[in-house]
Chain A
Amino acid sequence: MLTAALRKEMLLQWRTRAQLMAVFVFGAAALLLFSFAVGPIAEMLRLFSAGFLWLGLLLSSTLTLAESYHAEMENRALEGLLLLPANPRSLYYGKAIANWIQLVILGMALVPVMVILYDAGTTRIFALFVVVALGAAGLSAPGTLYAAMTAQVRSRQTLLPLLLFPLIVPALLASVKATSLIILGDPMGQLKSWISLLIAFDAIYWSLCGLLFGRVVEE
């Protein structure tokens, strides 16, 4: 069931890959604009690079998340899906995993932009990938749930960030801190504790949102 839902989502995303490309351009443009907030001071830019990367990814994520229910809203397809002998939970996890993969791709694609613009290179690529994957998971679990609500109401573009941003503060904080430690060096060995905070956040929201999703889409 879950694999079928996931397959459907991945297929849809593959067919609308131009959209992901557009969101990437949006994120890269955001990273470019952030540098004007600090000015051309290379040292400062490098210091803030992790924060900028995650803010860029967060802003881009609201676009992809809000769009992720686009197909379900057309021709009342969501009701059709719910009529299938499938658990709504697998629909949720299928969509959440698909959104997660999309955000990880987006995040890893934004990393080179960050490296070039802010001179924030690192050799610990694998650690960076783990942090991006965990942070993106923290965005996608509650984001997918809230998008299911906001896709059905007026002014969804305003409502989704309004609900999502306060909620993901711990995930954002931990991701920025962990990314910063990877880029700027980690003399105190704090990286592990931030990664465990991210894992805890992900574990809580991936289970809680899956539990509650059934109530959100029920008629």
Chain B
Amino acid sequence: MTEVLMTPTRTKSSLGNAVATALLCVGVYFGLVVTLADQYLHADLSLGLPLAVRTLIAVFGGLIGAIIFLAGDDLGGSLSTVKLLATIAVAFLVLGTYFGLFVAPPEQFMGEVQRIMYVHVPTAWNALLAMTFAFACAIFYLFNGDWKWDALMEGSIEVGVILAFLLCCQGAIWAKPTWGVWWDWDPRLTTTAVLLFAFLGILALRKFVEDPVKRGVWSSVATIIAYADVPIVYFSVRWWNSLHQLQSNPNTVSKPFWIPLRANAFGILLLMTAFILLRARVSKLRLENELAPPPLLEAELGEAV
């Protein structure tokens, strides 16, 4: 069993990491560096690409880069990737926080309150990404039964649940001064809350099932079903009640606001990737322990008796 769990794919993994790093660098370059240079050095580094193309490259570079990191990891013992990702993530978050709190001007209509958007919007993007990744892991696990996907699924559901919880809290903090109430039945906030409870239920299911195979299959099935619910919940709540402001795009958000938003988006993306990898390692070790528990040491045996 342990052999199945630890198929060494060192070369494939390092190639994947190289590709992922390259994609992330391209994403950061077009998403952040170009804007920073334009804003503060008045230099045009855009290589002649129009804004829409640059935004697309930034989004997909970051997304696909993170996904390759996650999917390509062999969940081996080495933590160097995780540590590196977390360090870079913290650097981005420090940059984003600095720009968001001290550099970006207060918003014209909403004032200082608007600054929570620099955390809120990136959290929303990444929470959805974590859930989507869990959904993909669930499908892969159902099709090929590789334990790696089970571990990654558990990791991404847990990280996604935490992000969704933070998202609800930030939404409430935003709603109080803006709309005068802590909770507003807006489609996105409500969908996040429903998603949070749905995935908490799946984590509870995982805790209650002892057989690892059943646990993996059942939580995959539950993840697929819960994920299919997201668009239905969104549209039904939207029909039911709507108040939330429209989604923004680079054309409706002025440039000084981009930098903290994007720095935080990359920061949370990398931090999330690192956490999922770390959590998946824990989950894999637990599984190995369940399938083949290490023999008790003599000292422990003495205590147990």
Please state if A167 and B229 are interface contacts (CB–CB under 8 Å).
yes
What total of A-B pairs shows CB separation below 8 Å?
87
A177 to B239, CA, bound (A): 10
Interface status of B202 (Cβ within 8 A of chain A): yes
Interface status of B222 (Cβ within 8 A of chain A): yes
A204: chain B residues within 8 A (beta carbon): 228, 232
Smallest CB separation, B194 vs chain A (Å) = 5
Interface status of B183 (Cβ within 8 A of chain A): no
In chain B, residues 111-131, which have Cβ atoms closer than 8 Å to a Cβ of chain A? none
Smallest CB separation, B203 vs chain A (Å) = 10
Please state if A166 and B225 are interface contacts (CB–CB under 8 Å).
no
B209: chain A residues within 8 A (beta carbon): 149, 153
Please state if B239 and A193 are interface contacts (CB–CB under 8 Å).
yes
Please state if B225 and A162 are interface contacts (CB–CB under 8 Å).
no
* A166-B217 CB under 8 A given contacts A145-B225, A173-B237, A204-B228: no
Please state if A166 and B226 are interface contacts (CB–CB under 8 Å).
yes
Q: How many residues of B contact A (CB 8 A)?
A: 30
Please state if A173 and B204 are interface contacts (CB–CB under 8 Å).
no
Please state if B233 and A170 are interface contacts (CB–CB under 8 Å).
yes
Interface status of A215 (Cβ within 8 A of chain B): yes
Contact with A along B243-277 (1 / 0, CB 8 A): 00000000000000000000000000000000000
Please state if B233 and A169 are interface contacts (CB–CB under 8 Å).
yes
Main secondary structure of the interface of A (DSSP, over half): helix
Interface status of A110 (Cβ within 8 A of chain B): no
Smallest CB separation, B44 vs chain A (Å) = 48
Please state if B236 and A162 are interface contacts (CB–CB under 8 Å).
no
Smallest CB separation, B24 vs chain A (Å) = 33
Contact with B along A142-160 (1 / 0, CB 8 A): 1001100110111100110
Interface status of A44 (Cβ within 8 A of chain B): no
B136: chain A residues within 8 A (beta carbon): none
Please state if B224 and A163 are interface contacts (CB–CB under 8 Å).
no
* A177-B221 CB under 8 A given contacts A159-B205, A169-B233: no
A162 to B198, CA, bound (A): 8
Which of B200, B228, B236, B239 counts the most chain A CB atoms within 10 A? B236
B228: chain A residues within 8 A (beta carbon): 204-205, 208
Interface status of A136 (Cβ within 8 A of chain B): no
Q: CB < 8 Å: which of A145, A165, A193, A194 contacts B221?
A: A145
Please state if A177 and B218 are interface contacts (CB–CB under 8 Å).
no
Q: Which 5 A-B pairs have the closest CB atoms?
A: A166-B198, A166-B197, A170-B236, A162-B201, A163-B201
Q: A154-B208, A163-B201, A208-B228 are in contact. List 20 more A-B contacts (CB 8 A).
A: A150-B205, A153-B205, A158-B204, A159-B205, A159-B208, A162-B205, A163-B198, A166-B197, A166-B201, A166-B229, A167-B225, A170-B229, A173-B240, A174-B236, A197-B232, A209-B225, A212-B224, A215-B217, A215-B220, A216-B217
5 contacts between A and B (CB under 8 A): A146-B222, A152-B214, A153-B209, A169-B237, A177-B240
Q: Which residues of B come within 8 Å of A, CB atoms?
A: 142, 194-195, 197-198, 200-202, 204-205, 208-209, 214, 217-218, 220-222, 224-226, 228-229, 232-233, 235-237, 239-240
